[in-house]
Amino acid sequence: MSSRTPCSPDVLVVGGGIIGLVTAWRAAQQGLRVAVADPQPGGGAAQVAAGMLAAVTELHYGEQTLLGLNLESARRYPAFVAELEEASGQQVGHRSCGTLAVALDADDRAHLRELHALQIRSGLESAWLSGRECRRLEPMLAPGVRGGLRVDGDHQVDPRRLAAALVTACERAGVELRRTWAERLVVESDRAVGAVLADGGELRAGQVVLAGGSLSGRLNGVPADVLPPVRPVKGQVLRLTVPRPYAPFLSRTVRAVVRGSHVYLVPREDGELVVGATSEELGWDTTVTAGGVYELLRDAHELVPGITELPLVETRAGLRPGSPDNAPLLGFTDLPGLLLATGHYRNGVLLTPVTGDVLAGALVSGELPEVARPFSPRRFTGGRPGERPASREAAVRRDTVLQEQSA
Cα torsion angle, 183, 188, 193, 199, sign: negative
267 binds ligand GLY (CB under 6 A): no
SS3 sequence of 183-251:
EEEEEECCEEEEEEECCCCEEECCEEEECCHHHHHHCECCCHHHCCCCEEEEEEEEEEECCCCCCCCCC
Radius of gyration of the chain (CA): 22
Cα torsion angle, 55, 173, 362, 49, sign: positive
344 binds ligand GLY (CB under 6 A): no
**Torsional class of 79: left (φ above 0), alpha (ψ -120 to 50), beta (otherwise):** alpha
Distance CA 326, CA 209 (A): 20
Q: Shortest CA distance to 247 belongs to which of 264, 266, 271?
A: 271
346 binds ligand GLY (CB under 6 A): yes
378 binds ligand GLY (CB under 6 A): no
Site for ligand GLY in 98-137 (CB under 6 A): none
Torsion of CA 303, 307, 313, 317, to 10 degrees: 10
Task: Please tell me the count of residues contacting ligand GLY according to CB under 6 A.
Answer: 7
- Min dist CB 235 to ligand GLY, Å, is 5
Q: Shortest CA distance to 219 belongs to which of 342, 317, 318?
A: 342
277 binds ligand GLY (CB under 6 A): yes
- Min dist CB 200 to ligand GLY, Å, is 36
**Measured at CB, which residue is nearest to ligand GLY?**
346
255 binds ligand GLY (CB under 6 A): no
For ligand GLY, the closer of residues 69 and 205 by Cβ is 69
> Of these, 235, 321, 328, 336, which contacts ligand GLY (CB under 6 A)?
235
- Min dist CB 52 to ligand GLY, Å, is 6
Largest CA distance in the chain: 69
For ligand GLY, the closer of residues 26 and 320 by Cβ is 320
For ligand GLY, the closer of residues 52 and 71 by Cβ is 52
52 binds ligand GLY (CB under 6 A): yes
Taking CB under 6 A as the rule, which mask of x and - marks residues 150-189 in contact with ligand GLY?
A: ----------------------------------------
Amino acid at 196: V
For ligand GLY, the closer of residues 161 and 346 by Cβ is 346
Taking CB under 6 A as the rule, which mask of x and - marks residues 314-333 in contact with ligand GLY?
A: ------x-------------
Q: Shortest CA distance to 157 belongs to which of 357, 349, 21, 17?
A: 349
Distance CA 387, CA 232 (A): 29
> Of these, 20, 42, 206, 276, which contacts ligand GLY (CB under 6 A)?
276
**Site residues (CB under 6 A) for ligand GLY?**
52, 58, 235, 276-277, 320, 346
